[in-house]
Amino acid sequence: MTTLYLLRHGETVDNTAHILQGQTDGRLTAAGIAQVEAAARAIAAMSDDLRPERIISSDQGRCRHTAQIVASHLPLPITYDPLLRERDWGSLTGHPIAEAQALHGQFPPDVETTAQMSARTLQFMRWATATYPEARLLIVTHGLYARCLQATYRRLPIGDIARMANAECRRLDIDSALLPSTVKSEESGAAAN
């Protein structure tokens, strides 16, 4: 079993403005940095048998910054992986979240579908369990991506997975034998973290 600690990046300027960041870098606010510092201290205080052994982070700026803050408290190697990027909002990137929600899943064709995002999460889980069996990994990623990963593994709609606060950390134990063979396509509850 591979244990994933899913850590959402700290608050960003666009989070405070309710803007779809998608695959832009974003920039942590002072509050976001403080959130990550607190999360990093909590992770570093875990017992040796629970504490993560490696950090794998989205390569987007807001996650890179989050991972570097954590690594300053918990000196672990960091691997950056584009599979952990947030949903690509295409032409909706930079627009208000409310605008995407008003579309009720009828997004422009350049927006990454939830099926495509779920396929990325499944690809990541297969890689992580094959590369790091029995390991404890801190996954620094994005709110919607982390929810999609949980939903894919549990075979649930994304809307059934609670939204994540900035710098929130959730544990997910992955049994490679229980990974789904395919992914479902649904847009309900996937318009933002």
Catalytic residue among 11, 86, 112, 187: 86
Cα separation, 92 vs 98, whole angstroms = 11
Query: Which residue, 192, 86, 92, is CA-closest to 142?
Result: 86
* Residues with Cβ within 8 Å of residue 166, at least 6 apart in sequence: 8, 9, 10, 11, 12, 15, 32, 35, 143
Closest Cα to residue 139, out of 93, 44, 70, 186?
70
3-state secondary structure of 54: strand
9 is catalytic: yes
d(CA 182, CA 118): 9
Q: What is the DSSP letter of 159?
A: G
Residues that are catalytic: 9, 86
